[in-house]
Amino acid sequence: MDTSDKIAIVNALMQEDRAEIRMNKGILLNTSYFVVSGIIAITAFAISQQPNDYTAVSLLGIWSFFLLYITTFVYFKNHLNSIRRCLDIREGYYKDITVLENEKPFNPLKSEDRNETPSFAHNYLYYLPAAVLLVAAANTVILINVF
């Protein structure tokens, strides 16, 4: 296998990593939109009913939705960090081009080091659970004050 074949393999793997990063960020954003919509729908349903009929159940539904969202967020955020560490490994091949030019067996699928922090951690995504928490808290206050 010559250097150009190795570079083609690394490029293909980097392209897949980037696509998976975009997909996971999209999942986090879409899940946030759905949860906020669900919380607002639960609140709207509870307000439209007779007083005190569905208040406790609605509050339970809102906070259950939020806990489910937090669980999903943590899972996909950890997965996003793992993908980013893998992408860092592949980008490292371009920093040390001698790895690609060696005659030694080439392994582009090295496992990631979980102790190492990714070069870009997507920390701005933590605004999503904060926003969902604010929506859940605001809807809780609305339900408590209406009834």
CA 13 to chain CA centroid, Å, is 20
Share of the chain above pLDDT 70, in %: 87
Q: Each residue of 14-27: pLDDT tens digit?
A: 899 999 999 999 99
pLDDT tens track for 55-104: 888 889 999 999 999 999 999 998 898 888 888 888 887 777 776 677 66
* Nearest to 74, CA basis, from 24, 22, 16, 30: 24
pLDDT at 106: 66
pLDDT at 130: 93
Distance CA 16, CA 26 (A): 15
Mean residue pLDDT across the chain:
84
The pTM for the full model equals: 0.78
